[in-house]
């Protein structure tokens, strides 16, 4: 990917008293959020999230930020500040703490509880520091002020980072719901107070920057849910993010109104909702929730709240769609996808919708009913923030390129000089020195793939091979030649998978291989590696020219 600052080299040493900002994820993508702040030789990290794979990344479970920039400086990391408990902000914390387990974590009560449950699975006991809106913490040379923001999960925080170089305000993920379910609105008074002090650099959530107006209130989905429940004669199955406590509360309230029992389905959903209930973020009457193993005993008068709203292959809803889950979806059931599509997940979600519909279920989603509202500020809300904060420099974060650019244009409309609205990608270094922000260079960042127990072993080349195998098939060719004469004594034996079932198809290319090998030996080529390449080129030319395919070709020439 190109960026607006080509030809950047390694940044020079940070000026004394300056502040360096490097995003290792979250720019040009929705997910993998991680930003490193450096001053006076110390590093502070805001968020360590994951990115979920697309269809073009087969077999990959998660994608992590690239820690290589900080790996040699882990002793200098003095804290990790977590803005909220979504996977794209906390999901990679266990992988970083594997490298150094005593880095203190700073976050709100719910955020730390969610990340703590995740760390327990990895057998890591964290050093946690619970914070809340209105507090300030001195973390080495950084003074971090925590500001309440409204989002699609309780206890979300913006962070104002005070340093000798200036003030940086990072919104985290936020919107400006004026009637939130928990009564906790985005603290614009705190934003304004910071603006009065002078915000030198404003890092702003860009996810909905290209959406005009204001994001609807979470409360507005209640009538749509009520209509769905009223019209459904059998079970209601609602898929949502396992951390969307506010959405789950509305589903529970609607279930109570329609005298339905509730069951949580999916390991992360069960775990997170227990945490939320135990901490008082979720209100559930006694005797309402039944164990997922008792669903059949309840009958049709039940609401199943499950994971899988993004078509994740191993999530409960996807397994129901595939017919390999204990819960069978059928005629008369209604399935509600209570989320928006994360870019890249469209095909997976549409496949799930089609399969559920084939089983006879009615599928309700954002495209045909108001069953989801976003957790991110739209353009109108962002304009308000820019006018209140009046930042000197703006750095759009958390979004794809179209979102980042739209966000920068909003800042410019409110009076931020165009040259002060900085659009960058992951790895580009911003230095704030004496009130001036400049692009100082770049550092290498890549994708770190998690595949089962393997972390970072899968490369782009490996993924390319997987895509070829999945899309074009596989052909192996084994030829045995005489080491003295170079003549073929056995083969060519050709085996194929995912390309063609008719082995007679390969008779023609066998003759081509024999002729090509004979000609090569006559020209003095006799090494098995060189002859293997002759076989590869011959088969590749034939399959490309005759069949317009590009399968993986694995030649093996053996001397005897």
Per-residue pLDDT 10s for the chain (560 aa) are 334 566 788 888 999 999 999 999 999 988 899 999 999 999 999 999 988 765 555 556 678 899 999 999 999 999 999 999 999 999 999 999 999 999 999 999 999 999 999 899 889 999 999 999 999 999 999 999 999 999 989 999 999 999 999 999 999 999 999 999 889 999 999 999 999 999 999 999 999 999 999 999 988 888 989 998 998 888 898 888 888 899 999 999 999 999 999 999 888 899 999 999 999 999 999 889 988 888 877 788 899 998 877 766 667 888 888 887 888 888 888 888 887 766 666 777 888 888 888 888 888 887 777 778 889 999 999 999 999 999 999 999 999 999 999 999 999 999 999 999 999 999 999 999 988 999 999 998 888 877 655 565 555 555 555 555 445 567 778 877 766 666 777 777 777 766 555 566 677 777 777 777 777 777 767 677 777 787 778 777 777 766 666 777 777 777 76
Distance CA 25, CA 116 (A): 22
Instruction: Give the residue from 202, 192, 199 showing the smallest Cα distance to 172.
Output: 202
Asked whether the beta carbons of 65 and 32 are under 8 A apart, the reply is yes
Predicted local confidence at residue 547, as pLDDT: 64
State the burial class of residue 191 (Cβ atoms within 10 Å of its Cβ: 0-12, 13-18, 19+).
buried
Predicted local confidence at residue 127, as pLDDT: 94
Task: Say how many C-beta atoms besides its own lie within 10 A of residue 393's C-beta.
Answer: 24
Task: Say how many C-beta atoms besides its own lie within 10 A of residue 8's C-beta.
Answer: 16
Predicted local confidence at residue 436, as pLDDT: 93
State the burial class of residue 428 (Cβ atoms within 10 Å of its Cβ: 0-12, 13-18, 19+).
buried
Backbone angles phi, psi at 299, to 5 degrees: 90, -155
- Which stretch of DSSP H or E encloses residue 63? strand 62-64
Distance CA 106, CA 46 (A): 9
Task: Say how many C-beta atoms besides its own lie within 10 A of residue 485's C-beta.
Answer: 10
Structural domains of the chain sorted by starting position, each given as residue range(s) with its CATH number in brackets? 20-213+374-455 (3.60.15.10), 218-364 (3.40.50.10710), 473-559 (3.10.20.580)
Predicted local confidence at residue 1, as pLDDT: 32
Angle between helices 267-278 and 109-121 (to 10 degrees): 140
Distance CA 472, CA 479 (A): 23
Give pTM, 2 decimals. Answer: 0.79
Distance CA 157, CA 150 (A): 8
Distance CA 554, CA 251 (A): 54
Predicted local confidence at residue 321, as pLDDT: 82
Task: Count how many Cα atoms sit within 13 Å of the Cα of residue 237 in the half-sphere of its side chain.
Answer: 28
* Sequence-ordered list of residues with C-beta below 8 angstroms from that of 199, at least 6 positions apart, any chain: 160, 167, 168, 169, 389, 390, 391, 392
Cα angle value 545/548/553 (rounded, 5°): 85
Task: Count how many Cα atoms sit within 13 Å of the Cα of residue 226 in the half-sphere of its side chain.
Answer: 7
Rg (CA), the chain: 28
- Render the burial of 353-370: b for 16+ CB within 10 Å, e for the rest: bebbeeeebbbbbbeebe
Per DSSP, what are the bridge partners of residue 412?
A: none
Asked whether the beta carbons of 335 and 361 are under 8 A apart, the reply is yes
Q: Concatenate the DSSP letters of all residues of 97-127 into one string.
A: HTT-TT--EEE-HHHHHHHHHHHHHTT----
Task: Count how many Cα atoms sit within 13 Å of the Cα of residue 426 in the half-sphere of its side chain.
Answer: 26
Q: Is the dihedral of CA 333, 313, 324, 273 positive or negative?
A: negative
Predicted local confidence at residue 162, as pLDDT: 97
323: left (phi over 0), alpha (psi -120 to 50) or beta: left
Distance CA 341, CA 30 (A): 11
Predicted local confidence at residue 2, as pLDDT: 38
Predicted local confidence at residue 531, as pLDDT: 77
- Render the burial of 22-33: b for 16+ CB within 10 Å, e for the rest: bbbbbbbbbbbb
């Amino acid at each position: 990917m190109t960026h607006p600052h080509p030809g950047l080299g390694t940044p020079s040493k940070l000026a004394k008293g300056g502040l360096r900002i490097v995003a290792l994820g979250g720019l040009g993508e929705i997910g993998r959020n991680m930003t490193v702040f450096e001053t006076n030789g110390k590093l502070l990290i805001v968020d360590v999230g994951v990115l979920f794979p697309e269809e073009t990344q087969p077999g990959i479970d998660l994608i992590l930020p690239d820690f290589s920039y900080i790996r040699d400086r882990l002793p200098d990391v003095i804290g990790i500040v977590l803005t909220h408990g979504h996977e794209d902000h906390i999901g990679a914390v266990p992988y970083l703490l594997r490298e150094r387990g005593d880095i203190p974590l700073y976050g709100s009560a719910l955020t730390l509880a969610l990340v703590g449950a995740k760390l327990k699975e990895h057998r890591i006991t964290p050093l946690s520091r619970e914070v809340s809106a209105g507090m300030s913490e001195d973390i080495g040379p950084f003074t971090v002020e925590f500001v309440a923001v409204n989002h699609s999960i309780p206890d979300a925080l913006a962070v104002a980072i005070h340093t000798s170089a200036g003030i940086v305000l990072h919104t985290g993920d936020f919107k400006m719901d004026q009637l939130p379910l928990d009564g906790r609105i985005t603290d614009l008074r705190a934003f304004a107070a910071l603006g009065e002090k002078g915000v030198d650099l404003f890092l702003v959530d860009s996810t909905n920057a290209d959406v005009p107006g204001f994001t609807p209130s979470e409360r507005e989905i209640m009538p749509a849910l009520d209509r769905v429940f009223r019209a459904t004669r059998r079970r209601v199955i609602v898929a949502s993010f396992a951390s969307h406590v506010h959405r789950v509360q509305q589903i529970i309230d609607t279930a109570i109104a329609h005298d339905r029992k509730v069951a949580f389905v999916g390991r992360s959903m069960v775990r997170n909702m227990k945490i939320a209930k135990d901490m008082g973020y979720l209100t559930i009457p006694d005797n309402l929730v039944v164990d997922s193993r008792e669903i059949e005993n309840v009958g049709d008068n039940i609401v199943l709240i499950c994971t899988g709203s993004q078509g994740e292959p191993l999530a409960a809803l996807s397994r129901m769609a595939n017919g390999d889950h204990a819960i069978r979806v059928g005629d008369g059931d209604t399935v509600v996808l209570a989320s928006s599509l994360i870019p890249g997940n469209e095909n997976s979600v549409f496949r799930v919708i089609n399969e559920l519909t084939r089983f006879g279920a009615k599928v309700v989603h954002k495209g045909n009913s108001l069953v989801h509202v976003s957790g991110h500020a739209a353009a109108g809300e962002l304009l308000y923030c820019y006018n209140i904060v009046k930042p000197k420099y703006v750095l759009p974060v958390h979004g794809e390129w179209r979102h980042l650019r739209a966000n920068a244009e909003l800042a410019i409309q409110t009076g931020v000089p165009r040259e002060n609205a900085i659009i960058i990608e992951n790895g580009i270094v911003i230095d704030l020195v004496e009130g001036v922000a400049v692009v100082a260079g770049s550092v290498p960042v890549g994708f770190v793939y998690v595949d089962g127990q393997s972390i970072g072993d899968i490369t782009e080349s490996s993924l390319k091979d997987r895509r070829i195998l999945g899309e074009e098939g596989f052909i192996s060719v084994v030829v045995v030649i005489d080491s003295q004469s170079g003549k073929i004594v056995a083969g060519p034996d050709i085996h194929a998978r995912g390309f063609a079932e008719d082995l007679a198809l390969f008779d023609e290319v066998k003759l081509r291989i024999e002729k090509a090998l004979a000609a090569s030996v006559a020209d003095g080529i006799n090494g098995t590696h060189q002859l293997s390449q002759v076989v590869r080129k011959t088969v590749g030319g034939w399959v490309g020219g005759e069949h317009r395919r590009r399968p993986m070709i694995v030649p093996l020439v053996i001397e005897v």
